[in-house]
Structures are given as C-alpha cells and as structure tokens.
Structure 1
Amino acid sequence: MTKHKNHHTALHEKDGISRPESVSVTSIANITQLRKKQPTADELVKGILEHNKTALSRAITLVESTNPTHLEKAMAVINQCLPYANKSVRIGITGVPGVGKSTFIEAFGKHLTSLGRKVAVLAVDPSSSMSHGSILGDKTRMEELVKDENAYIRPSASGDTLGGVARKTREAIILCEACGFDTIIIETVGVGQSETAVHSMVDFFLLLKIAGAGDELQGIKRGIMEMADLIVINKADGDNIKKAKLAKTEFNRALHLFPAKSSGWQPKVSTCSAITHDGIADVWQVVNEYFEMVKDNHYFDAKRADQNRYWLTETINEQLKSSFYAREDITPLLEQYKKAVQNNELSPFAAAQFLLEKYFEK
C-alpha cells in the first residue's frame, strides 16, 4: 500500500500570526476609546495653545466638516484661537503639475526649520470631479519634512472649491498660527484661470516654473505672472543649469512689461534645485527682503486688512450656499426644476429666481 505525502498547494492558508506579548491589550483599548471621544471646543483650544499637533489636526478636521451640527463648535474654536493668530508669514506656492512643488516645499521647509522657524504646510490636493476623492499624498512625498518636529503637514481636498485652495484653508491658517507656527506655506493644486484665490490669503506669492516648458515669455497665465512676487525656476541642476539661467533672463525681461505693484515691490526671478538644495537659501533671502520692505511701508498691514474684508464676504457666500442646498424643502424642488430646465420647459434664470424666492420665504 502506497502512502500519500501531504503536499500543500499554493492556496494553502498558514496559521495566523499570534499577537506579540509586547502589545498591551489595555493600551489598544485606551487608544480606541480616546479616538472615539469627541473633545470639547475648550479642550481643542487648550491643546492647540500647548502646541499639540493632534489637537490641531482634530480642530482642522472639525472646521472642514460639512456637518451642520459641527459649525457652532468649529466657530467657538476659531474665535478662541483668533487672538493668538496673525503672528506668522504666509507664503503661497503654486505651479503646474510636475514642476516639483512638493520636493521644493520639503527642501524649503527643512531649510526654514534649520533656522529655528516652525513651518506649517497646508497642501491642497485636487478632488476628482467624478469620484470626488483625493489622493492626499503630500505626507508621503515630503517624507523628511513630515518627521521634523518643527514642521506640520496637513493635506486637504479642494472639493468643489475654485481657486486651488480647500474650502476652509483660511480658518486652518488661523489654527496653525495659534499652535505656534510662524511660517505658513500653502501649496495649491496647480495653475489655471481659477487658481488665484490663494493670493487673497497669503502675504507672499511664489510661482514655481521649469526651464524649457515653452512658456518663458507668455507665462502660464498672465494673471498668475502679475500676482507673483517671486518666480523660482526649479530643477536647475545637471544639464538643466544652462536652460534655467536662460529662462531666468527671459522671465526678468517679461516681468518688466507688467504694471508696477501697489506694494512697491519689483518681482524677482531666481533659480534653484530642490534635489541638491542649491539656491534654496537665496529664495528665503528674497522672501525676507520682501517682508522688510512691505512692513516698512505699511503695505503688509493694509493687505491683511483687505484680505479680512474679502474673506468676510466669501464666508457669507459659502454659508448661504451651504444653507440653500441643505434645506430639506428645497432639495425636491431643485430636482424638479432641473428636469424642467433640461427639457427646455423653463429657463435656468427663471428656475433659479423661483428657488431663491422659495428659500427666502422662511
């Protein structure tokens, strides 16, 4: 009689791995319970003022929430943090996809933390118009900066907001400032006609470019070029050094064609390599020169005041929009009038007028 050996197939499932003794069941239970517990507004503010990054992250999540029940609590957190805000420099960084924004920000951020500054990066990732999802991969791309104790990286989804910034980026800036970060960097989703809202919430606007992209004179968009306080030509290393220097010359010529800025600042062009870190220190030097000038001529404070007025109206617009679409009596009417408009039974303007009148009845 032949004995059959037991042969394991590729589908054979191995026994599970037992949990190491070093893992405390009690600790896991405590952490799980802590995550379920919702801190009060006062607890969040206390954590933020103590420079607790976990409290800061939870507060930003609360502020970004679209749940109407979270609005009051979020407002309480922001109002309590406001007296501790406005003590930073705010830098907006934009550029086409592939220009190396994340790599540049990591090199720039590491340089700033080496100088003793505390850096918060609010990175805005584009949301899909189909799935409405975002990758939020900036922490992965900035793997060195994310480990720096003097840095904080917060990726957020742009959602349906135009302007290349998340819906609540303005409030997130206030929370980061209250948490002790003296340099706020906002990375936008990219450059386009609607990617200029970041300019209305930062003090300094930096445009990243690459040499040889065929847009040295025209710029990506004239509006973006006019807003830029500094154009940085990235990837100026290896065989690209000569091209980068040529692009710098051409951009300098182009900038002189634009009207003078109300700040009195003449925009500059510099080159750098985020990989080798060549030119990164020069970028910070230009930023410092700008801030010295605009603080001396009081443009800095005037611009901040204008921005606050602008964001008052923007917040009103946002709240009205959210309130309109959240109304239960409006939703069925909206669907009904959408069909009527699609079937050419009613003009979009007449339908909108009726819905708004219905909204303001109560």
Structure 2
Amino acid sequence: MRKREISTKTFVNGIVQGDKAILAKAITLLESSNPEHFEKANKIIEKCLAKSNKSVRIGVTGVPGVGKSSFIEVFGSTLTKQGKKVAVLAVDPSSTLSKGSILGDKTRMRALSKDPNAFIRPSPSGESLGGVARKTRESIILCEAAGYDVILVETVGVGQSETVVHSMVDFFLLLKLSGAGDELQGIKRGIMEMADAIAINKADGNNLEKAKLAKIEFTRALHLYPPKENGWTPKVLSCSAVENTGILEIWQMIEEFIAQNRKNGFFEKNRQTQSKNWFLQTVDELLRQFFHQKETFKKNQSRLLKDIEKNKISPFYAAKKLLESLTKELK
C-alpha cells in the first residue's frame, strides 16, 4: 500500500513542536531531486523562516582523523547538560565513483544520538564543494524552527573550499592536531584566515607537551593575518574529547564571541550578508538546472564535446559558443 502523503501543514506543525521524525522527513524532502518535493520543501521553509534565526550556528572543520565527531559528541553533550537543544548536521563524503556515502555519524556519536535534547542528521556531500551537503542551509532553517539552540555543522574536512561552510555559520571552529606535521600546512592554507578560533584536539597523555607547543605556534601564525572586520581576535585553545577537558572553555569563548558580535551589530549584519549570498548561489544553481534541462543545450553540448575530443575546438571557445546558442534561443 502507498504511504499517505504528509501535508505541508503537518510538516510545519511537527517541526515547530520538535518532532524529530517529522524534522528528519522534512530534510529528506529538501534533499530530494524530485521537482514536486522541491516545491513542497520550499513551502515548508517559507513557513519556518519566521521561527528561525534564534540559534547559534557553529561550523566545525578539520582534516580527517582530527577527531571532529568525537569532539562534537562531547561538546554537544556538554551543552545539552546545560539544558540546550543541539542539532548536528554532519556531512559524510560521497564516492565520486559509486556516489554512495556511509553516513556513519550516528554510529560514531552513540551517546549524543540517544540524548533527547539532541538531533543528529548525517547527509551525503554529493557533488557539492566545501564539504557540505547541497541543502545544509535549508536544514539549518528547519532545525532552528524546531527549537534547537545550537546548530553544529560538521564538514568533511577535505579540500580547500571551506568558504562554503564559513558562509552559513556564526562561528567557525578549526580543529587541529599537534605533532602531526600539520602546523606549517595549516598556516599555508587560507582556512586559518577564516577561523574564529583554533582548538588543538587530542591534548592528552603523551601528546600534552606537543599540544602546548602547537598552541604557541598557531597563536603566532594568527598574528600574520589582518584584523577581522568584527573586531574579534581569534584564539587558540587546547582540548581533549577523550578526557573531556577544555570543552567548556571553548563554549565559553563562543559565548563571548556571540555577545561581542551582537553588541557591535556584526551578528545581524553577518546573517543578512549570508542570506543575500544564499540567494545569489541559489540563482546560479537554478540557472544551471534550467539550461541543462533544455534539449537544445543537451544537443549542442553533445556536439561540442565530440569536437573537443577531436581537438577541433578549445574547451573555452566551445563553452562560449554553447552560451551564445542559448542566448539566441532566449531572445
């Protein structure tokens, strides 16, 4: 028997009432490529927008193996013990060959996944850049409408397109390892310039002294970058998810950051800028979908690809000719 379709009103009411099952289904609807689901998801988001913007959005990134999932579990548990509701939007890397994804974050965060004040949603990164799922922004809106006070966005932590994550959060936390030869590499990458704070994870046992040295090195490195527009001076802290040390201090620092940004007006200004960028990126995405669905585009693209293979035309000039043919059709 066919399952009864859930109405938009039922979705919105369920989300606002904090129904985790309804929230999960709504995010699945968001991620669907079905045009009908797209329309319905947009209606749900429109209804939920008025109830959003009341959370603190935190991006957590770092290279694979740095302990992002372990950190988030302990960090999230620390916040739920304070009575806060925490949502984790964890993004798993998708295979470029099979397009599959393990989506194992709920398994890695066993304790937090059982917490009644926590919601964990793993999503595949798909073909999107920056280690975030295509619909992460929309998922944030729904989680806020569901009453979650803190939204944690865990990235894949690969590549150098983390600006996508930075463009949707209030606070950007970079996790680092000590003694892994990562210090200089971290300084070279532009990601440090975006970080509002660096946390040296796994600062425990024999690694404690190395963590102290890494903290000094990264603190020096941060002085190489120009001051941030919001007046915040990025800090370097150390922590251990295993021993649960330094976690509370990181949250207190984030609270200090949020308070400072609300006071100087940058918090609201940043949210407004992010919404504008979200609009522009969505326009780009919809335009791409629109053109790729046109038969003329498909035929001309196929013909030009054959010419490129035979070295009859350069890729750049082929792209120019393809756009010209589409422009003529639209006139």
What TM-score, normalized to structure 1? 0.87
**Aligned residue number for residue 282 of structure 1:** 249
Equivalent of residue 301 in structure 2, options 309, 323, 334: 334
**Aligned residue number for residue 151 of structure 2:** 184
Equivalent of residue 224 in structure 2, options 225, 247, 257: 257
Say if 2:35 is the partner of 1:88.
no
**Aligned residue number for residue 111 of structure 1:** 78
**Aligned residue number for residue 241 of structure 1:** 208
Q: Residue 292 of structure 1: CA displacement?
A: 1.1
Say if 2:205 is the partner of 1:232.
no
**Aligned residue number for residue 63 of structure 1:** 30
Secondary structure in 1 matching 2:18:
coil
Partner AA of 1:190 in structure 2: G
What fraction of aligned residue pairs are identical, expressed as a percent?
Answer: 59
Secondary structure in 2 matching 1:90:
strand
Say if 2:40 is the partner of 1:73.
yes
- Which of these two proteins has the greater Rg computed from alpha carbons? 1
String of CA shifts for 1:8-64, please: whole Å, max 9, x gaps. xxxxxxxxxxxxxxxxxxxxxxxx86xx22212222111111111111111111111
Tell which deviates more after alignment, 338-347 or 164-173.
338-347
In structure 1, stretches of 5+ residues that fail to align are 1-31
8 Å contact 1:192–1:221 — kept in the other structure? Answer: no
1:210-225 equivalences under 5 Å are 210-219=177-186, 221-225=188-192
8 Å contact 1:118–1:150 — kept in the other structure? Answer: yes
Q: Residue 221 of structure 1: CA displacement?
A: 4.3
Secondary structure in 1 matching 2:50:
helix
String of CA shifts for 1:87-136, please: whole Å, max 9, x gaps. 10000000000000000000000000000110000011111111111111
8 Å contact 2:160–2:189 — kept in the other structure? Answer: no
Secondary structure in 2 matching 1:78:
helix
**Aligned residue number for residue 272 of structure 2:** 305
In structure 2, stretches of 5+ residues that fail to align are none
**C-alpha separation in 2, matches of 1:95 and 1:328:** 42
**Aligned residue number for residue 148 of structure 1:** 115
**Aligned residue number for residue 51 of structure 1:** 18
**Aligned residue number for residue 203 of structure 1:** 170
**C-alpha separation in 1, matches of 2:25 and 2:326:** 33
**C-alpha separation in 1, matches of 2:162 and 2:227:** 22
Partner AA of 1:348 in structure 2: P
**C-alpha separation in 1, matches of 2:301 and 2:156:** 31
Say if 2:102 is the partner of 1:135.
yes
Partner AA of 2:195 in structure 1: A
Q: Residue 66 of structure 1: CA displacement?
A: 1.4
Aligned positions, number: 329
**Aligned residue number for residue 316 of structure 2:** 349
Q: Residue 285 of structure 1: CA displacement?
A: 0.8
Secondary structure in 2 matching 1:124:
strand
Equivalent of residue 314 in structure 1, options 281, 284, 299: 281
Alignment RMSD (CA, Å): 1.5
8 Å contact 1:94–1:191 — kept in the other structure? Answer: no
**C-alpha separation in 2, matches of 1:282 and 1:194:** 28
**C-alpha separation in 2, matches of 1:258 and 1:159:** 33
